[in-house]
Chain A
Amino acid sequence: MTKQSALTLILPIAGEENAAWLNKELTDIGQQLGKAPKIDFSKSGLTHFARFVILPGADANSKAKRLLFTSNLDGDFDGYARELIDNGIAPGIDTIFSKCEGYQSGTLLNEASATAFFNSKNIDSNAFYIALRGATREIIQQSADLREKMDHQLDNGELSNEDKVAIDRLYKDCENLRSTNSCLNDPPSATISFGAKVLGVVNDVWEWLVGVRYDGNNPEITVETQNHLYDMEDLVTQNQLTAVVPVKKNVFARMMLRLILWLISIQVKSVKGTLLDLATIHFARWVIIDDGNNLLFESNFDGSWENYIDDFVDHASVGMNLIWANCIGFPRGGAKDIESFKAYIRANQTPAQVFYSAYKDLTVRNILTDLSLSKKISDLTRPDGEPNFAMGYYGA
Chain B
Amino acid sequence: MATEIFKKLTPGELKNIQGIIISGYGHLPNAEYQFLSLGDGMLAKNWLAAILPKITTSQRPESENGKKKKPGCALNIAFTYAGIQKFGTILQSGFSQEFTEGITEPHRTRRLGDDGGSAPEFWDIKENGIDVLLMIQAPNPAERDDFSKSIKDDYARFGITMAATAFGNQPENKKEHFGFTDSISQPFIENSPATPKGTQSCVRAGEFILGYHNEYGLLPATPTINGADDKNNYLPPLSTDTRLRDFGCNGSYFVFRKLYQDVAGFNHYLDTHTKSAEHKAVVAAKFVGRWPSGTPLVVSPGGDIAETYDKNNFFFMNNDAKGLSCPIASHIRRSNPRDSLAGGPEQSIKTANRHRLLRRGIQYGPQFASGNTDDGQDRGILFFCVNADIKRQFEFVQQTWINNPKFGDMYNDRDPITGNNFDPKSDNDGKEYNMTIPGCPREKFTDIPRFVTVKGGGYFFLPSIPALKYLAG
The chain A residues found within 8 Å of chain B, CB to CB, are: 154-155, 160-161, 213-225, 227, 230-231, 233-234, 237, 277, 279, 302-304, 306-307, 310, 314-315, 336-339, 361, 363, 365-366, 369, 387-392, 394-396
Contact = CB atoms under 8 A, between A and B. Distances in A.
B218 A338 contact: yes
A219 B7 CA distance: 13
In order of increasing CB-CB distance, the 3 nearest A-B pairs are A230-B107, A222-B94, A395-B409
B322 A221 contact: no
Contact of B224 (A213, A220, A306, A388): A220
Interface string B445-462: 010000000000000000
B392 interface: yes
Interface string B1-38: 11010000000000000000000000000000000000
B442 interface: yes
Given A234-B110, A391-B440, A219 B399 contact: no
B322 A391 contact: yes
Given A310-B392, A390-B442, 17 more contacts: A216-B218, A219-B220, A220-B222, A220-B244, A222-B94, A223-B97, A223-B221, A224-B97, A225-B97, A231-B107, A310-B354, A310-B396, A336-B216, A339-B218, A391-B439, A391-B442, A395-B328
Interface string B98-121: 001100011100110000000000
Contact of A394 (B105, B216, B436): B436
B122 interface: no
A306 B392 contact: yes
Contact of A160 (B343, B350, B409, B441): B441
A369 B410 CA distance: 9
Given A223-B97, A303-B406, A339-B221, A216 B4 contact: yes
A339 B220 CA distance: 9
Nearest to A338: B216
B404 interface: yes
A218 B240 contact: yes
B114 to A, nearest CB: 13
27 contacts: A161-B440, A161-B441, A215-B2, A219-B218, A219-B239, A220-B244, A223-B97, A227-B107, A303-B400, A303-B404, A304-B111, A304-B399, A304-B400, A307-B396, A310-B392, A337-B218, A338-B216, A339-B218, A365-B406, A366-B406, A366-B411, A390-B441, A391-B324, A394-B410, A395-B410, A396-B321, A396-B409
- Interface residue range, chain B: 35 or more
B101 A222 contact: no
Contacts of B244: 220
A12 B42 CA distance: 57
Contact of B93 (A155, A220, A234): A220
A219 B221 contact: yes
Interface in B322-355: 322-324, 328, 342-343, 347, 350-351, 354
Contact of A155 (B240, B322, B444): B444
Given A303-B400, A314-B347, A214 B2 contact: yes
- Interface of B, secondary structure class, is loop
Contact of B96 (A154, A223, A396): A223
A153 to B, nearest CB: 12
Contacts of A390: 438-442
B39 interface: no
B221 A214 contact: no
Contacts of A217: 218-219
Contacts of A314: 347, 350-351
B406 A363 contact: yes
Contact of B438 (A225, A338, A394): A394
B409 A233 contact: no
Interface in B386-431: 391-392, 395-396, 399-400, 404, 406, 408-411
A240 to B, nearest CB: 15
Contacts of B395: 306
Contacts of A395: 328, 408-411
Contacts of A337: 218
A306 B399 CA distance: 10
A346 B224 CA distance: 23
A234 B107 CA distance: 8
A214 B92 CA distance: 24
Contacts of A338: 216, 218
B94 A154 contact: no
Contact of A216 (B219, B409, B440): B219
Contacts of B100: 225
A279 B342 contact: yes
A225 B408 CA distance: 31
A207 B222 CA distance: 27
B241 interface: yes
A220 B439 contact: no
Contacts of A315: 343
Contacts of A161: 440-441
B238 interface: yes
Interface in B30-73: none
A234 B221 contact: no
Contacts of A302: 406
A223 B347 CA distance: 28
A387 B440 contact: yes
Contact of A221 (B221, B324, B440, B446): B221
A234 B395 CA distance: 13
B173 to A, nearest CB: 34
B103 to A, nearest CB: 14
A205 B326 CA distance: 47
Interface string B172-197: 00000000000000000000000000
Contacts of A389: 440
A222 B218 CA distance: 16
Contacts of B238: 219-220
B461 to A, nearest CB: 15
B392 A220 contact: no
Nearest to B216: A338
Nearest to B401: A307
A271 B134 CA distance: 54
A72 B172 CA distance: 58
A218 B354 CA distance: 19
Contacts of B410: 394-395
Contacts of B391: 306
A391 B438 contact: yes
A92 B444 CA distance: 44
Contacts of A366: 406, 409, 411
A214 B4 contact: yes
Q: Which of A233, A237, A395 has most chain B Cβ within 10 Å?
A: A395
B335 to A, nearest CB: 16
Contacts of A213: 2
Contacts of A394: 410, 436, 438, 442
